[in-house]
Amino acid sequence: MGNLESILDRFAIEGKIKEVKPLGNGLINDTYKAVTEGNAPDYVLQRINNAIFQDVDLLQHNIEAVTRHIRGKLEAAGEKDLDRKVLRFVPLKDSPKTYLLDDGKYWRVSVFIPDAFTYDTVDPKYSCFAGEAFGRFEAQLADIPDTLGETIPDFHNMELRARQLEEAVAADKAGRLKDPEVQSILAEMREHMEEMCLAERLHREGKLPKRICHCDTKVNNMMFDAEGRVLCVIDLDTVMPSFVFSDFGDFLRTAANAVAEDDPAIEKVAFRKEIFEAFAKGYVKEASAFLTPVEKDNLPYGTLLFPFMQAVRFFADYLNGDTYYKIKYPEHNLVRTRNQMALFHSVLANMDYMKKYIASL
């Protein structure tokens, strides 16, 4: 039995494993698909990156609470096909825990959702579906009885990301600061830093609440069925209390960009307004039940914040010598930074338009 098979064998799965192969393209965890023989479901095996998610027990506590709560709501609403509409994590054979610590590595297993698709780009119709789905996800979790912890403390806190950037600059671990391009990116980021920390200020003034958000609403973290309807939201590691801008902004950061976040052709980076409009419409429809005026009015700021925050995070990692995000070549994080800053400018040019559009909803 191979190593991955012997890990799977510790979980209470059905059927006999036929094959285990890599799955997806996440930047943080290692993910595999375990194909079983016969009628048993297939499974997703993941090694949790515990350098990044340092409290795996809290992480799985959050995920179990979230999936239990959503499953309960779907059941109460008489939904069928539950295993395609909410993730199900498999316990260990000898304990109710849904993760395994083996030789310093953390593993978990969930049921693979059959006949489901993820996309790296969407058209306006799918974008609207996605807006509804993330709005509904937040609405479903608005009355969760469990207390969820922050699996990465201050994950989307721009003030923290600003401090981490300045720490990376001060240490200059990879000796990359001497590059004139790096200097000019840094100057530009510093220029916008204060205005981008608006959410933290509003929160301190008691004007902006934290709610349970997904916090990694990349377009490919949503599963669709063959007809294009949303089945469920995946990649729940970062579900935690945050500002609604997290989910709104991060989806548009990925879906409304005309190219991928690491496309080196930055002249092709552009903010696709039709994707913004469709997503905003779907999201506001489902979220209007709980959104406050301050949250709604600042959705354009949230749209601007996420390319900026992501640029700062990629850039800090570049300065630190690429210790956080998986990279495929040495300049990868710099290319990502350029791309996200170009998107930031494209969104910035559309602020007035976005404000008018949101006000019209």
* 310 belongs to the binding site for ligand GN1 (CB under 6 A): yes
The DSSP element (H or E) to which 195 belongs, if any, is helix 180-196
Q: Tell which residue, 170, 148, 188, has the closest CA to residue 66.
A: 148
Q: Contacting ligand GN1 (CB under 6 A), which of 27, 40, 193, 259?
A: 27
Residues 200-219 as x/- pattern, contact with ligand GN1 by CB under 6 A: ----------------x-x-
- Give least dist CB 141 to ligand GN1, A: 19
Q: Cα 250 vs. chain centroid, distance in angstroms? A: 7
CA 243 – CA 248 distance, rounded (Å): 9
Contact of residue 259 among Mg ion, ligand GN1, none (CB under 5-8 Å per partner type) = none
- Give least dist CB 249 to ligand GN1, A: 10
Long-range contacts of 195-198 (CB under 8 A, 24+ apart): 196/158, 196/304, 196/305, 196/308, 196/309, 197/158, 197/159, 197/162, 198/298, 198/301, 198/305
Give the binding-site size for ligand GN1 (rule: CB under 6 A): 10
Return the number of other C-beta atoms located less than 10 Å from residue 269's C-beta: 22
b/e map of 196-231 (b: 16 or more CB within 10 Å)?
bbbbbebeeeeebeebbbbbbbbbbbbbbbeeeebb
Residues 162-191 as x/- pattern, contact with ligand GN1 by CB under 6 A: ------------------------------
Residues 200-239 as x/- pattern, contact with Mg ion by CB under 5 A: ---------------------x-------------x----
Q: Which one, 215 or 278, has the nearer CB to ligand GN1? A: 215
CA 318 – CA 182 distance, rounded (Å): 10
CA 125 – CA 12 distance, rounded (Å): 39
Q: Which one, 26 or 124, has the nearer CB to ligand GN1? A: 26
Return the number of other C-beta atoms located less than 10 Å from residue 92's C-beta: 16
Return the number of other C-beta atoms located less than 10 Å from residue 323's C-beta: 10
Q: Which of residues 226-265 bind ligand GN1 (CB under 6 A)?
A: 235, 238, 261
Q: Contacting Mg ion (CB under 5 A), which of 15, 26, 124, 209?
A: 26
- Give least dist CB 53 to ligand GN1, A: 7
Contact of residue 84 among Mg ion, ligand GN1, none (CB under 5-8 Å per partner type) = none
Biggest distance spanned by C-alpha atoms of the chain: 61
CA 103 – CA 276 distance, rounded (Å): 45
* 28 belongs to the binding site for ligand GN1 (CB under 6 A): yes
Residues 233-272 as x/- pattern, contact with Mg ion by CB under 5 A: --x-------------------------------------
Q: Cα 315 vs. chain centroid, distance in angstroms? A: 18
Q: Cα 192 vs. chain centroid, distance in angstroms? A: 23
Contact of residue 261 among ligand GN1, Mg ion, none (CB under 5-8 Å per partner type) = ligand GN1
Contact of residue 198 among Mg ion, ligand GN1, none (CB under 5-8 Å per partner type) = none
Contact of residue 317 among ligand GN1, Mg ion, none (CB under 5-8 Å per partner type) = none
- Positions touching ligand GN1 (CB under 6 A) are 26-28, 52, 216, 218, 235, 238, 261, 310
- Positions touching Mg ion (CB under 5 A) are 26, 221, 235
